[in-house]
Amino acid sequence: MNESLETPNIELSEGAKLKKDFIAGLVVFLVALPLCLGIALASDAPLASGLLAGIIGGLVVGSISGSSTSVSGPAAGLTAIVSAQIVLMEGFPQFLTAVFLAGLIQIAMGCMKAGALSAFFPSSVIKGLLAAIGTILILKQILYFFGGAKDFESAYELPETFSILKDVATVFEGNIQQGPLVVGIICITLLIVWPRIAVLKKTSFPPALAVVLLGVILQILLSSMGENWAFSKEHLVDVPSLFGDSAAEATEAGATETADAAGKTSEEQKWIVFPDFSVLTGFQVYLAAITIAIVASLETLLNLEAVDKLDPKKRPSPPSRELIAQGVGNTVGGLIGSLPVTSVIIRSSVNIHVGVETKKSTIIHGILLVLSIAVFATYLNYIPLTSLAAILLMTGWKLANPKLFRSLWKMGARQFVPFIVTLVAIVFTDLLLGVIIGMVVGLIFVMLSTVWNPLITAAKVFDSEVALGDDPIRLVLAKHVSFLSRLKIKNVLNAIEPNSTVIIDGTKNEFIDEDTLDLIANYIEESAEKGITASAEGLELPEQSTGLH
* Highest-pLDDT range among 1-10, 61-70, 446-455: 61-70
Q: Are residues 495 and 407 in the same domain?
A: no
Residue 5 falls inside a structural domain: no
Residue 41 falls inside a structural domain: yes
Residue 462 falls inside a structural domain: no
Q: Are residues 90 and 174 in the same domain?
A: yes
The better pLDDT of the pair 95, 265 is held by 95
Q: What is the DSSP letter of 462?
A: B
Mean pLDDT of 205-215: 80
Distance, CA of 535 to CA of 514 (rounded, Å): 17
Q: Residue 119 half-sphere exposure, CB side, CA atoms within 13 Å?
A: 17
Task: State the total domains in the chain.
Answer: 3
Q: Are residues 432 and 367 in the same domain?
A: no
Query: Which CATH number belongs to the domain containing residue 512 in this structure?
Result: 3.30.750.24
Q: Are residues 505 and 410 in the same domain?
A: no
457-500 pLDDT, tens per residue? 333 455 544 555 556 788 878 777 776 677 778 888 888 888 88
Residue 343 falls inside a structural domain: yes
Mean pLDDT of 260-283: 66
Q: Are residues 29 and 142 in the same domain?
A: yes
Q: Are residues 387 and 421 in the same domain?
A: no
Residue 210 falls inside a structural domain: yes
Q: Are residues 285 and 411 in the same domain?
A: no
Q: Are residues 296 and 431 in the same domain?
A: no
Q: Are residues 326 and 447 in the same domain?
A: no
pLDDT over threshold 70, residue 289: yes
pLDDT over threshold 50, residue 456: no
Distance, CA of 50 to CA of 283 (rounded, Å): 26
Contacts of 328 (CB under 8 A, 6+ apart): 60, 61, 64, 103, 107
Q: Are residues 371 and 239 in the same domain?
A: yes
**pLDDT of amino acid 242:** 63
Mean pLDDT of 371-399: 79
Contacts of 137 (CB under 8 A, 6+ apart): 346, 392, 393, 395, 396, 399
**pLDDT of amino acid 461:** 52
Give this prediction's pTM. Answer: 0.63
**pLDDT of amino acid 458:** 36
Q: Report H helices in 112-224.
A: 123-145, 161-170, 178-193, 198-202, 207-223
Contacts of 258 (CB under 8 A, 6+ apart): none
Task: Work out the mean pLDDT of the chain and round it to a whole number.
Answer: 77
Q: Which 3-state string (H, E, C) describes 226-255? A: CHHHCCCHHHECCCECCCCCEHHHHHCCCC
Angstrom CA distances, 78 to 96, 427, 507, stand at 14, 15, 47
Q: Are residues 376 and 431 in the same domain?
A: no
Distance, CA of 124 to CA of 422 (rounded, Å): 8
| Closest C-alpha to 494, from 125, 116, 126 | 116
Q: How confident is the model at residue 200 (pLDDT cuts 50, 70, 90)?
A: confident
**pLDDT of amino acid 446:** 67
245-261 pLDDT, tens per residue? 444 443 443 333 333 43
Angstrom CA distances, 373 to 76, 127, 159, 351, 466, stand at 21, 36, 28, 22, 57
Residue 156 falls inside a structural domain: yes
Residue 461 falls inside a structural domain: no
Q: Are residues 124 and 66 in the same domain?
A: yes
> Which residues pair with residue 152 across a beta bridge?
none
| Closest C-alpha to 320, from 467, 111, 514 | 111
Residues spanned by the domain of 478: 473-537
Distance, CA of 479 to CA of 538 (rounded, Å): 12
